[in-house]
Structure 1
Amino acid sequence: MYSWEGVSEFVAVAEAASFTAAANRLGISTAQVSRQIRALETRLAVKLFYRTTRKVTITDAGQIYYNHCRQVLDGLAEAERAVSDLQKTPKGRLNLTAPVTYGESRIAPLVNDFIVRYPELEVNLTLTNQMLDLVAESYDLAIRLGELEDSSMMAKRLASRTHYVCASPGYLSIHGTPHTLSELEQHICLQGTVGYWRFQEEGKPRHIRVTGNLRCNSGWALVDAAGKGLGIIQLPDYYVQDEIRAQRLVPLLDAYRAPDDGIWALYPQNRHLSPKVRLLLDHLGQGLS
């Protein structure tokens, strides 16, 4: 069984390089600090400090022990803050950003529910497809879709999304139903901002260039076009799920569907997340799962 006795005194002396300063910091006597350090050295069977009448210097063994003890004490402080935060009602300003369509359909309703639960919050939700600088523009949280670029931000996966290839029954009755990826060349493929579609074939990712007579940067516009029989689309589930359920669109090429990718929450690196951000992360994760 490990003992905490003497650890706080040891860390204080290591950081202050003085028994007297450490005692003042801890609000105890210098003699008590000295006794705890001697007992700790005896228990560990190692010398932690070199002492002279003028200064205190940490030993190599002491430096190794300090590095570990500092992490332990930081973790303990973090645990106490986390428990204390449970008793606090989130309040103040909360800044977050999300992509436009996903933000409108999924994030905004959940944020509104969060405000109902915690009315003392002041929330600024910015819906944009631009990759904003969270630190420079003082955002607490950002929602990102798909593969993440290398980032200094912390990331938490909240949910996943599925990309569907689909077309209307009317289009398929005229042009036929594709059953293999090579057959897409014979079809009208309505394009978004990316000129290829994502698939998986024999366990490997595959990107296929598609062509058609309509390109648009609005997913909803492509859904409308597909519903009117203008061609085949590939879009995430939140655009087409209702249309598929209502049988206005028919899913295609399911055997080649690419693996689901992530819905992520990004936030600046910080050992101690504020209660409002932590609660919002939990709320979004539960609502999107």
Structure 2
Amino acid sequence: MKPWQGISEFAAVAEQQSFTAAARQLRLSVAQVSRNIAALEHRLQMQLLYRSTRSVSLTEEGKLYLPHCQHLVASLRDADQAIQQRTQQPQGLIRITAPVYYGERFIAPLLNDFLHIYPECRLDFQLTNEQVDLIEGSYDVAIRLGQLGNPRLRARKLGSRRHFVVGSPAYFEEFGRPQDINALDAHRCFTGTVRQWRFQVEGKLETVRPESYLHCNNGLALRDAAMKGLGLAMLPDYYVTDSLANGQLEEVLADYRQPDDGIWALYPENRQVIPKVRVLLDYLSGNLSGNLSGKFNTGEIEN
């Protein structure tokens, strides 16, 4: 048998948990789907699916094999679409994920506008602060915030963000202002998803791990605590710009502010950027960062 025979059928049955639904999706007969999967299991010399009259489930070997098959199927689909869409308007489904707050405030409105411009496209947009696996989740793009790291993914820079250490006027009136990073030991500090605070001291990055007076993995909650005078928070600009402008919060340690870090669109390293995805990335880049020219790098993002 051909090495790829049965792979699409196996992935479809595993995802649909039904031979009938998979056959309908692939436009094949149930018998043909069953034969091709049986041939695949014979070639591998192992069972991939448990079958009964009522249900279908994966064996342990099937669970291990499935993500690789899904990646192959996605790559084949991308290759087909790259050819089909070469002379066409962007069209088809784009699956994208983004962090909850940043996605709600900035990405979602742009995606809605994108659909007005390219009505032949469809979007599956998921908001989560979890580090989802792009290949296993069959995502085309993930929006991530932070520093590059892991070479398994490629990334296009869409913009940048700036961090501020902030507190309320009432807090500073009672506890004073820290004049350098060593003074943070005497202050009530909040920590979020990342417990370390980064600063730039004489051109070098230094990391401080303040004792958490309040620890919470939600930036809005930390901003609210800071505005109520409970302590100091280090937060990205999109959380605090308005509060700094209206005087509810004030910045400290500005001379030690860490360098701006990135807002990135990630996609699998060995997946071709098909036209509809490239158009979306260009649109996001242009609207998130003005004339910023996004460059491609390899890496994974750390929140």
In the superposition, the TM-score normalised over structure 1's length comes to 0.68
Does residue 288 (structure 1) correspond to residue 288 (structure 2)? The answer is yes
SS of the counterpart of 1:213?
strand
> For residues 230 and 243 of structure 1, what CA distance do their matches in structure 2 show?
15
Q: What is the Cα deviation at residue 271 of structure 1? A: 7.2
Q: Distance in 1 between matches of 2:210 and 2:255?
A: 18
Q: Deviations over 1:121-143 (max 9, x none)?
A: 21001111222221222111111
**Structure-2 residue corresponding to 1:164:** 164
Which residue number corresponds to residue 240 of structure 1?
Answer: 240
Gaps of 5+ in 2: 1-80, 290-303
Q: For the residues of structure 1 that align with 2:87 and 2:273, how far apart are their CA atoms? A: 15
Q: How many aligned positions are there?
A: 209
Shift of 1:103: 1.1
After superposition, give the CA deviation of every residue in 1:252-275 in whole Å (9 maximum; x if it has no partner): 111100101111111123575222
Other structure's SS at 2:108 match:
helix
Matches within 5 A, 1:247-266: 247-266=247-266
* Shift of residue 88, structure 1, vs aligned partner: 2.2
Which residue in the other structure is 1:173 paired with? 173
Look up the SS of the partner of 1:164 in the other structure: strand
Find out whether 1:274 has 2:295 as its counterpart: no
- Hey, what does 2:116 align to over in structure 1? 116
Partner of 2:217: 217
Given that 1:93 and 1:124 are in contact with CA atoms closer than 8 Å, whether structure 2 keeps it comes out as yes
Q: Distance in 2 between matches of 1:255 and 1:267?
A: 35
Instruction: Supply the AA of the counterpart residue of 2:134.
Output: L
SS of the residue corresponding to residue 119 of structure 1 reads coil
1:139 equivalent in structure 2:
139
Cα deviation 1:48-70 (Å, max 9, x = unaligned): xxxxxxxxxxxxxxxxxxxxxxx
SS at match of 1:96: strand
Rate the CA distance shift 1:282–1:86 in 2: closer, same or farther, 3 A: farther
1:251–1:277 Cα change, 3 Å = same
Query: 2:116 and 2:92 mapped to 1: Cα distance?
Result: 14
Residue 182 of structure 1: aligned partner: 182
* Alpha-carbon distance change, 132 to 199 in structure 1, aligned in 2, over 3 angstroms: same
Aligned to 2:227: 227
Moved over 4 A (4+): 84-87
Unpaired runs of at least 5, structure 1: 1-80
Give the CA deviation at 1:246. Answer: 1.3
Q: How does 1:203-214 map to 2 (within 5 A)?
A: 203-214=203-214
- Once residues 270 and 216 of structure 1 are traced to their aligned partners in structure 2, the CA distance between those partners, rounded to angstroms, is 36
Q: Distance in 2 between matches of 1:256 and 1:173?
A: 22
Q: Which has the higher contact order (CA 8 A, sep 6+)?
A: 2
Secondary structure of the residue that 1:281 maps to in structure 2? helix
Deviates more, 1:189-198 or 1:120-129: 189-198
**1:102 alignment counterpart:** 102
Give the 3-state SS of the residue equivalent to 1:190 in structure 2.
Answer: strand
Q: CA RMSD in A?
A: 2.1
Aligned-residue sequence identity (percent) comes to: 50
Most deviating of 176-185 and 219-228: 176-185
Measured at CA, do residues 276 and 147 of structure 1 come closer, stay the same or move farther in structure 2, by a change above 3 Å? same
Q: Is the 8 A contact 1:88 1:275 kept in 2?
A: no
- Mapped to 2, the partners of 1:213 and 1:273 lie a distance apart of 45
Q: TM-score, normalised by structure 2?
A: 0.65
